[in-house]
Amino acid sequence: MRTIVSGKRSLLIPFLIIIIALTVLTALPLSARQSKSAKPAASAQTASARNAQAASPGAKSDPSQVGSWTAPVNLGVITIHAALLHTGKILAWWYPQGTNVNSPAKLYDTVTGKTKDVTVPFPGDFFCSGHTILADGRVLVTGGLLGNPHPGVPDDGITATAIFDPGSETWSQGTPMNLARWYPTDVELPSGQTLTLTGKNEHAVIDLPMEQYDPATEVWTLLPSSANIPQQSSDTYLKMKLLTNGKVFMAGSNADTYTFDPATNRWTLTATMNFGNRYHGAAVILPGLTKVFTAGGTANHAGGGATATAEVIDLAAPAPQWSFVSPMHIPRYNSNLVILADGTLLEVGGAQTERYGTPVLIPELYDPSTDTWTEMMTQTDSRPYHSTALLLPDGTVWSAGSDDPTKKIAGHSYEIFSPPYLSKGARPTITSAPSAITYNQKFTVTTPDAASVTKVALVRPGSTTHDNDFDQRYVVLDVRHGTGKLSVTAPPSANYAPPGWYMLVLVNSSGVPSVMPFLQLM
Ligand SMILES: [Cu+2]
């Protein structure tokens, strides 16, 4: 079970071993360290070998090919959890330093770069919680770690929930769930209600009955037993993706992947992943909203043995099957998979040999239209387990966190990645766009660049932790070109895009995205 414990309890001895090992390792020159830690891999080089290669003189550094990174900046918290708010600020939080105290949290303004302390004003450890952004833009945080567990008893979940209001920038206590949960998954349904799955309860049981939250009534309702997850899951933070038929697809970690129908409260076995159980992998629903893509992970729940493999399933096919696609260059797990402003994917962070072991510093860009991975510029601070990444409104990517006990200082930092598309020419600009739209509504976007725009999309702001983004989604919209304006049609229904705030993006024929203003889809 993934427990934080290294910072808290039962992993004290391994923690000391790691400290000693790292003390020895860091005494070596960098080059020696990299060559000593490099080891052979069948299909892909190890991260350390790749890191050394990218750092060598003559390595590619053209930002239009490999992007670029800002230097790390200390945020003051370890961003284990992060959500992008429609105010253009990131909410970041992690675990309290002690028991029965408050969870530290920060707001980071993605425009000004300023930060503000928004520590949760009531006790509760909202660490390894689930979280999703509600239709009105508030952040719902579900569960966490019981602050004062009994010695000798497994770590416990909590029933508590917390809600962050981006307008007032304050927290309030939410209605407690029916069941205690640590490491739950939240997914917003087309109704605007939140479905919550798994998580460890106070007896360390994972496969808990599901429950659903109605923001209108603030009531949690347990689903009937027919909705129970059909297969013993050996992992938490299930990868749940809303499909355009209103059903929700589970893309791991178990090899057998199922579809849940909220209308009947029943699960159906859909297909089996070729890799087998893919623990700590990352998954997204691709733009187009019929294919789900997963990359990285490990066959070992306890960690080690990272894979570079990736698979895709087309859920619109008559008999959907998982198929291997091109593998990454670098095996990794506990990494972050971010949908970028142009609809390509960035795999960033992760590790290879254990939660924090052999961290991968080289992100990779995946283009689903060509099935190709490209290695990007090396980042400075390592982002293995408990790291996060988010697409920002200006098209850059925030990469932060990891409570690697050997690198606590680095864990407090964030870095910002500019993808290659920001070095490929002028960006299309949006002169005006509505701040709110309804389903199927035709609306006008004025832009002097209308003629060169090839794609218009809504991008759901991310809400992420533990290689899992509960919210991100890229919804391509129908568009008609006018002179100095675009006539755009909103998504046909909430199955395509559940109600909430989205970023509006224009992408031009060079693949360059606009800055993305927020609008509310109701
Ligand atoms: Cu965790």
Question: Concatenated DSSP letters for 143-205?
Answer: --B-SSPPTTS---BB--EEEEETTTTEEEEEPPPSS-BSS-EEEE-TTS-EEEE----TT--
- pLDDT interval class at 247 (50, 70, 90): very high
Residue 370 Cα to ligand 1 midpoint, Å, equals 34
The tens digit of pLDDT for each residue in 448-460 reads 999 999 999 999 9
Given a cut of 50, whether residue 492 has pLDDT beyond it is yes
The tens digit of pLDDT for each residue in 278-312 reads 999 999 999 999 999 999 999 998 888 999 999 99
Residue 412 Cα to ligand 1 midpoint, Å, equals 16
Residue 493 Cα to ligand 1 midpoint, Å, equals 34
Q: Mean pLDDT across the stretch 36-59?
A: 40
The tens digit of pLDDT for each residue in 60-100 reads 799 999 999 999 999 999 999 999 999 999 999 998 876 67
Q: Mean pLDDT across the stretch 202-230?
A: 91
> Chain-centre distance of CA 221, in angstroms?
26
Q: What is the rounded average pLDDT for all residues in the chain? A: 88
Residue 465 Cα to ligand 1 midpoint, Å, equals 8
Residue 95 Cα to ligand 1 midpoint, Å, equals 10
Residue 183 Cα to ligand 1 midpoint, Å, equals 7
Q: What is the spatial distance between Cα 436 and Cα 433, in angstroms, rounded to a whole number?
A: 9
Residue 4 Cα to ligand 1 midpoint, Å, equals 6
The tens digit of pLDDT for each residue in 377-390 reads 999 999 999 999 99
CB count, 10 Å around CB of 416?
20
Residue 122 Cα to ligand 1 midpoint, Å, equals 21
pLDDT number for residue 147: 62
pLDDT number for residue 54: 45
Residue 255 Cα to ligand 1 midpoint, Å, equals 22
Q: Mean pLDDT across the stretch 249-255?
A: 94
Residue 80 Cα to ligand 1 midpoint, Å, equals 8
The tens digit of pLDDT for each residue in 99-126 reads 678 999 999 999 999 999 999 999 888 9
Q: What angle do CA 514, 515, 519 make, to 5 degrees?
A: 110
Residue 35 Cα to ligand 1 midpoint, Å, equals 30
pLDDT number for residue 203: 76
Q: Which residue has the tokens 């159980």?
A: 277
Q: Which residue has the tokens 């990131």?
A: 90
Residue of 7 and 385 predicted with greater confidence: 385
CB count, 10 Å around CB of 264?
11
Q: Mean pLDDT across the stretch 473-499?
A: 98
Residue 437 Cα to ligand 1 midpoint, Å, equals 37
DSSP output for 333-355: BS-EEEE-TTS-EEEE--BSSSS
Residue 82's alpha-carbon distances to 12, 57, 423, 466, in angstroms, are 27, 35, 27, 10
Q: What is the pTM of this model?
A: 0.89
Residue 218 Cα to ligand 1 midpoint, Å, equals 27
For residue 455, with 0-12 CB atoms within 10 Å meaning exposed, 13-18 middle and 19 or more buried, which class applies?
Answer: middle
Given a cut of 90, whether residue 55 has pLDDT beyond it is no
Given a cut of 50, whether residue 1 has pLDDT beyond it is no
pLDDT number for residue 408: 81
Q: What is the spatial distance between Cα 302 and Cα 81, in angstroms, rounded to a whole number?
A: 22
pLDDT number for residue 152: 60
Residue 312 Cα to ligand 1 midpoint, Å, equals 26
Tokens of 24: 């020895």
Residue 366 Cα to ligand 1 midpoint, Å, equals 26
pLDDT number for residue 148: 56
Residue 477 Cα to ligand 1 midpoint, Å, equals 36
Residue 3 Cα to ligand 1 midpoint, Å, equals 6
> Chain-centre distance of CA 397, in angstroms?
12
The tens digit of pLDDT for each residue in 337-393 reads 999 999 999 999 999 998 999 999 999 999 999 999 999 999 999 999 999 999 999
- pLDDT interval class at 151 (50, 70, 90): low
Given a cut of 60, whether residue 9 has pLDDT beyond it is no
Residue of 35 and 12 predicted with greater confidence: 12
3-class SS at 112? Answer: coil
Best mean pLDDT range from 139-148, 153-162, 295-304: 295-304
Residue 29 Cα to ligand 1 midpoint, Å, equals 32
pLDDT number for residue 5: 33
The phi and psi torsions of 29 (rounded to 5 degrees) equal -60, 155
Residue 2 Cα to ligand 1 midpoint, Å, equals 6
Q: What is the spatial distance between Cα 136 and Cα 314, in angstroms, rounded to a whole number?
A: 31
Residue 128 Cα to ligand 1 midpoint, Å, equals 5
Residue 26 Cα to ligand 1 midpoint, Å, equals 26
CATH numbers and ranges of domains, the chain: 34-69+273-423 (2.130.10.80), 76-241 (2.130.10.80), 436-521 (2.60.40.10)
Residue 325 Cα to ligand 1 midpoint, Å, equals 29
Residue 245 Cα to ligand 1 midpoint, Å, equals 32
pLDDT number for residue 64: 96
